[in-house]
Homo-oligomer: A and B are copies of this chain.
Amino acid sequence: MLPLKVIQNRIANAFGSEQFLNEPVKLYEPIIYTLGQSGKRLRPVLVLLSCDLFGGDIEKAVLPAMGLEIFHNFTLLHDDIMDDAPLRRGKATVHKKWNENTAILSGDTMFVLAYEYVAKTAPELLPEVLRLFNDTARKVCEGQQYDMDFESQTNVTINDYRMMIQLKTAVLIACSLKLGAIIAQADPVEAEKIYDFGMELGLAFQLQDDYLDAFGNPSVFGKAVGGDILANKKTFLFLKAFEVASPDALSHLNNFFNNPNIEASEKIGGVIRLYQKMNVDRYTRQEIDHHFQKASGILDGLNAAEENKREIRNLALGMVGRNR
Contacts and interface: CB of A to CB of B under 8 A. Distances in A.
Copies in the complex: 2
Contacts of A144: 105
Interface stretch (A20-28, A245-253, A258-266, A268-276): A20-28
Nearest to A128: B123
A81 B107 CA distance: 14
A109 B104 CA distance: 14
A26 B150 CA distance: 12
Given A138-B116, A142-B23, A104 B130 contact: no
Nearest to A116: B134
A154 B184 CA distance: 53
A119 B109 contact: no
B119 A104 contact: no
Interface size class of A (residues with CB under 8 A): 35 or more
A124 to B, nearest CB: 8
Interface string A256-299: 00000000000000000000000000000000000000000000
Interface of A: 22-24, 26-27, 78, 81-82, 100-101, 104-105, 108-109, 111-113, 115-116, 119, 123-124, 126-127, 130-131, 134, 137-138, 141-142, 144-146, 148-149
23 contacts: A22-B142, A24-B149, A26-B149, A27-B141, A27-B145, A78-B105, A82-B101, A82-B104, A82-B105, A100-B100, A105-B141, A105-B148, A109-B138, A109-B142, A111-B111, A112-B137, A112-B141, A115-B134, A116-B134, A119-B127, A123-B126, A123-B127, A126-B130
